[in-house]
Amino acid sequence: MRGSDGSNSSSKDDGDDRHGSISSSGGSNDSRGSSLSSSSNSYGSKGADVGSKKEGRRVKAGTRTNASMVDGDGERMIGSGRSRRHSISRIKRLVRQLLIELGEDPDREGLVDTPERVAEMYAEIFSGYTMDSELDVTFTEESDVVVAREIQFYSMCEHHILPFFGKVHIAYIPDGKVFGISKLVRLVEKYAKRLQIQERMTKQIADELEDKVKGVLVVVEGDHMCMRMRGVKNNSRILTIAYRGEFENRELREQILALLRDNSTRMYGI
Ligand SMILES: [Zn+2]
């Protein structure tokens, strides 16, 4: 059911079950951290003392950047290479056809430019497929734990092609080098700006950082439009966590989770 790559072929309308469930890919003895998914807004950690030795030292809010792709001939493309290359004009035709199938008149005033607008928008919101996170650009700096908090993301659920969005928090233990905040924002966008499920996005961000740091912890809080607008309407937020390396140490992990949880409450004003 759960795709391990972009080729999830499930056509069943089961998005709610997946989003609302609590899942775990392994116990704490795994060599790699398990990724947990929960529909509650709690990190499940038992109030570890944040004030102790490994407290995060750098907490910055993320900013958003935009990017669109241009191929060699100057034609804007969505995706990259292989079978992923769809031209704007092709998507335009498909969106026009979709409007007709929905029972609309694609030539009426309000809709006449919609196919082009949608195609242009897709070039931007699906630009992650061809994005380079540029994580090789680093600064030398001594630090125990770096926490980049509240990196905003917007992604599209691959089951319904509806938006899900929220915040990504990345904590990592540098291996002599630290990443500029813009590189972490870019890393998030690389995996957010494509058809996604939140669980996979969380793991992909952790995976890409794993071999560049001593430990990484990624927490994603997402709001899913496919849960709000359709089916059993459910406004709960999805929380996913992935950790690697030194964050397999439960105590260290819980310190950071407690730090994020405290700030999260304020973040959402609840
Ligand atoms: Zn969905």
How confident is the model at residue 156, as a pLDDT? Answer: 98
| Tally of domains in the chain | 2
Q: How far is the CA of 116 from the centre of ligand 1 (A)?
A: 24
For residues 100 and 119, membership in a common domain is answered with yes
For residues 178 and 140, membership in a common domain is answered with yes
For residues 236 and 122, membership in a common domain is answered with no
The Cα–Cα gap between 207 and 170 comes to 12
For residues 30 and 149, membership in a common domain is answered with yes
Q: How far is the CA of 21 from the centre of ligand 1 (A)?
A: 13
For residues 21 and 150, membership in a common domain is answered with yes
For residues 107 and 210, membership in a common domain is answered with no
For residues 85 and 201, membership in a common domain is answered with no
Q: How far is the CA of 108 from the centre of ligand 1 (A)?
A: 30
Instruction: Map residue 122 onto helix, strand or coil.
Output: helix
Strand partners, 37: 23, 240
For residue 191, what are its two tokens?
């995996």
For residues 195 and 262, membership in a common domain is answered with yes
Whether 93 maps to a domain, the answer reads: yes
Q: How many CB atoms lie within 10 A of CB 262?
A: 13
Q: What's 31's domain CATH number? A: 3.30.1130.10
The Cα–Cα gap between 216 and 248 comes to 9
Whether 226 maps to a domain, the answer reads: yes
For residues 31 and 152, membership in a common domain is answered with yes
Nearest to 81 by CA among 130, 36, 33: 130
**What are the C-alpha distances in Å from 69 to residues 103, 193, 221?**
32, 12, 28
Q: How far is the CA of 219 from the centre of ligand 1 (A)?
A: 19
**What are the C-alpha distances in Å from 140 to residues 10, 102, 112, 188, 236?**
45, 55, 53, 22, 40
Q: What is the pLDDT of residues 24-38, one digit of tens each?
A: 333 333 444 444 444
How confident is the model at residue 83, as a pLDDT? Answer: 39
- Does the predicted model carry a pTM greater than 0.85? no
Q: How far is the CA of 136 from the centre of ligand 1 (A)?
A: 33
- 6-9: which pairs have CB atoms within 8 A and are 24 or more residues apart? 6/158, 6/194, 6/195, 8/158, 8/197
Q: How far is the CA of 110 from the centre of ligand 1 (A)?
A: 27
Contacts of 88 (CB under 8 A, 6+ apart): 75, 76, 77, 78, 116, 119, 120, 123
Q: Which domain holds residue 105?
A: 77-128
Whether 243 maps to a domain, the answer reads: yes
For residues 49 and 161, membership in a common domain is answered with yes
Q: How far is the CA of 159 from the centre of ligand 1 (A)?
A: 5
Query: What is the DSSP secondary structure assignment for residue 215, as one 8-state letter?
Result: E
Whether 148 maps to a domain, the answer reads: yes
Q: How far is the CA of 224 from the centre of ligand 1 (A)?
A: 7
Whether 158 maps to a domain, the answer reads: yes
For residues 160 and 256, membership in a common domain is answered with yes
For residues 117 and 139, membership in a common domain is answered with no
Q: How far is the CA of 98 from the centre of ligand 1 (A)?
A: 19
Whether 157 maps to a domain, the answer reads: yes
Mean pLDDT on 42-54: 37
| More confident site: 235 or 257 | 257
Mean pLDDT on 235-257: 94
The Cα–Cα gap between 15 and 197 comes to 10
